[in-house]
Every structure is written in C-alpha cells, then in structure tokens.
Chains A and B, each alone.
Chain A
Amino acid sequence: MELTREEILRYSRHLLIPEVGLNGQRKLKESSVLVIGTGGLGSPVSLYLAAAGVGRIGLVDYDVVDSTNLQRQVVHGTSTVGKLKVESARARLLDLNPMIQVDVYNVPFTSANALEIAAPYDVIVDGTDNFPTRYLSNDVAVFLGKPNVYGSIFRFDGQASVFYAQKGPCYRCLFPEPPPPGLVPTCAEGGVLGILPGTIGTIQATEALKLLLGIGDTLIGRLLLYNALDMSFDFVNLRKNPKCRVCGPEADIKELIDYEEFCGVPGHDHESGSAGADWDISAPELAARLQSANPPLLLDVREPHELQISWLPGALNIPLGMLAARLSELDSAREMVVLCKAGTRSARALELLVSAGFRRVKNLKGGINAWAREVDQNLPVY
C-alpha cells in the first residue's frame, strides 16, 4: 500500500529511522490492532498507535465516560463526559490522525462475540480492568494464533508482557487459576496513580508497534514489573508451562469458556455496592434508623486516609484488612451497619462478620457515596 504525499510528510520522523523507513510505515498502514478497553491503558495505547499510523484500530468498550476517568484516561475529555467511550475515543483518534480507520464495538467483550471481533486484527492489546476479560483475551489470542500485548496496573505497580503462544508462554502459563474473588483489589476500590497507565500503556503501544514491524526484541517470554515509587524496572524470564490448559501439549480447553464463572467475579470493574437484598440497608433507611432510640453501630471499613474525604459521625473505623484480627472489639449482640466508599468492601466485611457468627449486621448499599447523594449533599462523592 503506497503512502500519499500527506502521509509521507506526516510520518517524516518515522521515515528517517532506518528500522521503520518507508517500508515500515507502509506495513503500519496495512496493519490492524484491536484494543480491548478504552480506559487507562487503552487511552495511551490507542492514541500512540493512531499517531504512529496503524491503518486500522479497533476499540472495544461498552461504558460511558465519567469524570472519575479523566485523572488517567487521557483519550477522553471533559466535553465527552456522559458519552460512549468508544465514540469519545474515536473522535479524538481521528482528530489526531484522520488518515486511519477506527472501528468501534460498543459491546461487552464476551465469549459470544470475542473471536468474531478479534479475528480480522493482527495484534490484540489487553487494556481490560478485570480478570475474566483478561483470561478471555488471552484465550482468544491463543485460539486465533495472534500476539496479546498485556498490561496491568494497581496503585504504583504495573506489569507488561507479550503473550504469544506460538513463540512463548501465554497468560495462563503464568496464572493457571484466577485469584479467589475479592483477593485482588480493583482500581475502583484501591485507586491507581493516574500516570501509571501512561507508563504501562506506552510500553504496550511500543510492543504492538515492534510486533507489526517485526523489529527489536519484544517482551515475549519476559514479564516487566514496574514500580513508580522506586522507579524500578524488573524483568522475570518466563517459560511455557507444559501443563498449560490452553497452549500446552495436552491442552484440554479448546474453545472459549464462561470466564465470569471461571473467575467468580463480573467482567467489569464496577462496584455493585450490594451484599444481597437481605443484607442491604439504603442510605435513607439508615438515616431514619440513626434517628431512632436504638441506633445501630456504624462500622466504617475504609482505609484511614479515606476518612479525610468523607465520614459519618460516630462511626468506628476498622479497615477491611484488619477486621479479621480485630473482631474482638465488636459486640455481636449489637445491631451494626457496615460501610465503605461504594459498598463493595463492606459487602466483603459483612461476609467475614457473618461467617464469624455476627447476625445483626447490614451493608450500607452504595456506601458513603450513596449517603452523600441521597442523604447529605454536603458530603463529596469520590
């Protein structure tokens, strides 16, 4: 595919590098990359691949932009809050480079549609925010024989690799089984440094570009571990797991499975904020109960630094991670309402309390954020 005069001018700085040059830039124009997720990682990945002149970029996401995204999801903007993420991202990418094609899939990436969506693309980039979709994109890449450029982030720590079963290990070679539900906090629960996905996402974009051009040494067979606080980059050499169930010699998983069932969690990083209808109490109900003669004890299981943002008077603070060790401080005879930011950690705390014999416990549905929306608008939502 020939480059136009405009393209030759636009990609001038690439054409000057011998490893890219005119032939490499033509290759990029003929190439295609599927970016799964247009969030923290998908933002820099799609922006830089668009700018670099990858001819066709596919974007999969079914979410809408909200203002808590903008601290890190730089492909979106204040003007696109409330709009579909794939449409918000497409407009930005085409503004950056109108000479490429951007395909959008405004659907959840699931076992039912994943193979069909991914089949036309040369490289898959995993920019998802949850374990079920990570296992799904890995297995899709293995079954279609394509490289899967992996990146994952939490707080100050990031990981990146290229999983390409034809030449090296896959994600399942490293992590045959997902962690138990709730063990690994999500960014919505635990937070993330806004710049971290920029660092990891640009590494993913670099790896995708190298794969398309066939240059350099990629992260196939290596896992990069980055820590922003230490500014440390560590590498672990990986190997194919001979017992891998999707890419090993005796693989027994030959088609996509139910990944939400496999991981025991939903395929999105959204907080339901509920412990189940029998265990929930709404913010207005709690407000009424607190006015009664026998108000329940409030147990706030957030981290101490979160109390500086918002708090309920009289609440006892025991962070979720310390609850098991501090159960003796609680009176199981007294009625208790457990709360956190949005109701996810408190639902987990409630499970722990119930299994320890507490019966008079309720979960504040939607957390202190629901209280701030429905009861006390002077409190901020975060």
Chain B
Amino acid sequence: MNPVKVLFFATLRHQAGVRSTEIEIPEGITVRQLKERLVERFPGLDWQVMDHCLASVNQEYCADEDIIPPGAEVAFFPPVSGG
C-alpha cells in the first residue's frame, strides 16, 4: 500500500469536513481512482465537483489518468468563477 496525503481547498474543505487527510491506496492507482475513493470515504464530497476540480501531485498539475507516486501530496481545487 501507498500512503498519500490529501489536501482539500475551498468548497471541498466544507464538503469533506477536513482540510487534509492521510489515505492508504494501492500502488499504481490514478488520480481519478483516488477521487472515487475519497468520495466513498467522505460522503459529503460532491462527485461532480471532484470530477471538475483541478488536482496537483506534489505541487505539479496532474491529469485524471496520471498515476500517483508513493508518499505523494495530492491537492484538489474546485473551479471558481467570481470576479
């Protein structure tokens, strides 16, 4: 298993009820698969928001199909539109 640290930003923080969490994931899973696991673990998380948010792995932008490396810090940022 691969421990990763997850950070939630903006509305995701309210939905999850926490700013960050540690989660054990099997090696080789993708960002999208991690999103799915997080929605199972935090029922307040809205899948549609997770599906459309920006994700970073170790402060680098990542796509849904990217594999998460061991020990990574993964952050999720929902889109905002106000001005």
Contact = CB atoms under 8 A, between A and B. Distances in A.
A236 B59 contact: yes
Interface residues of B, number: 21
Interface string B12-41: 000000000000000000000000000000
A241 B62 CA distance: 10
B61 A239 contact: yes
Interface stretch (A184-192, A305-313, A338-346, A350-358): A184-192
Interface string A148-188: 00011111011100000000010000110111100110110
Nearest to A265: B81
Contacts of B52: 175, 177, 179-180, 183
Contacts of B6: none
Nearest to B43: A325
Contact of B82 (A186, A227, A235): A186
B18 to A, nearest CB: 14
B20 to A, nearest CB: 12
Interface in B32-83: 46, 48-49, 52, 54, 56, 59-61, 63, 75, 77-83
B48 to A, nearest CB: 5
B66 to A, nearest CB: 11
Contact of A186 (B49, B56, B59, B81): B81
A40 interface: yes
A294 B63 CA distance: 55
Given A179-B52, A225-B9, A227-B9, A129 B60 contact: no
Nearest to B83: A129
23 contacts: A39-B83, A127-B83, A131-B81, A152-B79, A152-B80, A152-B81, A154-B10, A154-B11, A154-B82, A157-B9, A157-B10, A159-B77, A174-B61, A177-B52, A178-B79, A183-B46, A184-B49, A234-B59, A235-B59, A236-B59, A236-B75, A238-B61, A269-B81
A198 interface: no
Contacts of A169: 61
B60 A236 contact: yes
Interface of A: 37, 39-42, 126-131, 134, 151-155, 157-159, 169, 174-175, 177-180, 183-184, 186-187, 192, 197, 223, 225, 227, 234-239, 241, 269
A185 B77 CA distance: 14
Contacts of B59: 234-237
A347 B57 CA distance: 37
B83 A180 contact: no
Given A40-B82, A153-B82, 17 more contacts: A40-B83, A42-B83, A128-B83, A129-B82, A129-B83, A155-B10, A179-B48, A179-B79, A180-B52, A184-B81, A192-B82, A225-B9, A236-B56, A236-B59, A236-B75, A237-B59, A239-B60
Contacts of B48: 179-180, 183
7 smallest A-B Cβ distances: which pairs?
Answer: A187-B82, A129-B83, A154-B80, A157-B10, A179-B52, A236-B56, A153-B82
A292 B20 CA distance: 52
Contacts of A227: 9-10
Contacts of A155: 10
A187 B80 CA distance: 9
Contacts of A180: 48, 52
